[in-house]
Amino acid sequence: MAGRAPRGRITLDDVAARAGVSKGTVSKTLNGRSDVAADTRSRVEALLVQHGYRRRVASRPSSRLVELVFHELQSAWSIVIIRGVEDVIASEGMSVSLTVSGSRHAPADDWLEAVIQRSPVGVILVFSEMPTHMRAALQTRGIPFVIIDPAGDPPENDPSVASANWSGGLAATRHLISLGHERIAAITGPDDMMCSHARLDGYRSAMTAAGLPIREEWVRFGNFLTDGGARHATELLALDPEQRPTAIFAGSDLQALGVYDVARQRGLRIPDDLSVVGYDDIPLSEWVSPRMTTVLQPLEEMGREAARLIARLADGPIVPTPRIELATRLLVRESTAPPAAR
């Protein structure tokens, strides 16, 4: 059946009449066409969801696709997530389709029309959110989605997989404090991402619990990329030697690599003159010199869990909606040491 309302079947004619539009407009909305006004599309989608409409879906071919959506591909950590997703999806007899679209807040609008045409078994979004109209459009077509490490705080009915970012920031900072550091800076991610604030809150909690001052000029919002770490490290390490930090929690391994580069340019030795902690445990963190102390974020397992959820959601809704948070773990290597005697 096409779909059922709580008190009986609803037709496209019914939806059109209640929305005050033509049946053709309802059909265009269902097909994800971009030539429908945003307010009209939202009104139609809301009615479809309200009345439990589900479009009749033809049987899918055996080589089913799961769409994995990034807003940008950073090979250092993207490949780890892709590997985890592919591992599970292959075991389910499906394939992965990779898409790059939009920003960390949502895929681009033209993605919605295209994904409706592709009609994947499910969608996995990385570092993103799901806007209301996109959520409704996927829901009425029976296309489930899961978000890996949401940019914001998703609604309760949005399945998601994340990691314990606050605990990771806490562990990184406590490690530096245990070595004797008191002047510790933090370079977290973008200001508009939930995980950035969670890692920073862990840093603040550890500093406060130890009775150490938090100087606001030592707290920086970066971009999780190498240039973000380098930009802020350039300013932090230009401070007077008695005022600059003796340790930096970089918030991501890529940002930590930027800190490494600036420290070398200034003639500072890691960890003799500056201790550095990264976050993610990308493969490169073990290949740099000195090997990087970092917080292991289980990126590959996050990909696997998201893929497992999609496979389950493809068979029907899961109640309550899964919200999975995986543990992080500090990996102590060679980029941290007690501060040099002053």
Q: Which candidate, 207, 201, 170, 176, places its Cα nearest to that of 276?
A: 176
> Do 4-50 and 64-162+300-325 have matching folds?
no
Q: Which two tokens stand for residue 63?
A: 């080589």
Beta bridge partners of 83: none
Determine whether domain 165-298 maps to CATH 3.40.50.2300: yes
Give whole-number Cα distances, 159 to 122, 128, 153, 259, 308, in Å.
12, 12, 11, 35, 12
User: What DSSP character marks residue 220?
Assistant: E
Each as own residue / partner, the long-range contacts of residues 108-111 (CB below 8 Å, 24 or more positions apart, any chain) are 109/34, 110/34, 111/69
With vertex at residue 88, the alpha carbon angle to CA 87 and CA 91, rounded to the nearest 5 degrees, is 95
Residue 60: other Cβ atoms inside 10 A: 13
Query: What number of helices (H) and strands (E) belong to the chain?
Result: 11, 14
Architecture of domain 64-162+300-325: 3-Layer(aba) Sandwich (3.40)
**DSSP-derived secondary structure for 158-207:** S-EEEE-HHHHHHHHHHHHHHTT---EEEEES-TT-HHHHHHHHHHHHHH
Whether the CB-CB separation of 226 and 187 falls below 8 Å is answered with no
Chain-centroid distance, C-alpha 157: 17
Rg (CA), the chain: 24
* pTM exceeds 0.85 for this model: no
| Per-residue pLDDT tens listing for the chain (342 residues) | 334 344 455 676 777 777 677 766 766 666 666 667 767 766 766 666 666 565 544 444 444 899 999 988 876 788 899 999 999 999 988 899 999 988 878 888 888 888 888 889 999 999 778 888 888 888 888 889 999 988 777 777 889 999 999 999 999 999 999 999 999 999 999 998 899 999 999 999 999 999 999 998 999 999 999 999 999 999 999 988 888 999 999 999 999 999 999 999 999 999 999 999 999 999 999 999 999 999 999 999 999 999 999 999 888 777 777 889 999 999 999 999 999 865
Domain coordinates of the chain in residue numbers? 4-50, 64-162+300-325, 165-298
Architecture of domain 4-50: Orthogonal Bundle (1.10)
Strands (E), 250-304: 275-280, 293-296
Residue 10 φ then ψ, to 5°: -115, 140
